[in-house]
Structure 1
Amino acid sequence: MNKAQLISAMSAHSELTKKESKAALSSMLAAITKSLSEGDQVQVNGFGTFALSYYPARTGRNPQTGEVINIEGANKPVFKAAKVLKESL
């Protein structure tokens, strides 16, 4: 399912128009992004938790030249599904 299909599904399951569904989805994604960028996690009961996980710096290898390179540490977004969601699948 892509974003357009998700908007259509949201519209079909609610009393919102596609335009309103698109605005609601965009607002939700913006709020999650802002919260993660501030270092907070977002917990949606019955769905799951969005959080940041720090991956430390490490060394890697360029596959074309074999040269050793340093890969910087980075915060990466992670999602952990709630037990209710896991059980429904």
Structure 2
Amino acid sequence: MAATKGLNFAVLTAGTELETPTGIGRFRSYKMGNFRRQNVLVEFFRGKTVWFPEDVLKLVPAEGRQVPRGTNKARTSSLEDLYYLL
């Protein structure tokens, strides 16, 4: 679907799952004319965000979802964070 028609990222809903070269992530935002054609911001597990060019991204079919719901919310504190607070 994405390879033949292309996706209109300007109207894509935030949180839509996309297949990237590095794995499955969720769409966060679109910025036309960003650095080196990397216009699409994708968020991965634990809140890591990466910019990608439009032509390398594909939609994940509904039956192939791999990212559990609620994983891309605000990061929860961990023992590493506690170490830096001390």
Q: Same fold (TM over 0.5)?
A: no
- Give the helix-richer structure, 1 or 2: 1
TM class by shorter chain equals: under 0.3
- Give the strand-richer structure, 1 or 2: 1
If the length of structure 2 is used for normalisation, what is the TM-score? Answer: 0.21
Structure exhibiting the larger radius of gyration computed from Cα positions? 1
Task: Work out which structure has the larger RCO, using CA pairs closer than 8 Å and 6 or more positions apart in sequence.
Answer: 2
If the length of structure 1 is used for normalisation, what is the TM-score? Answer: 0.21
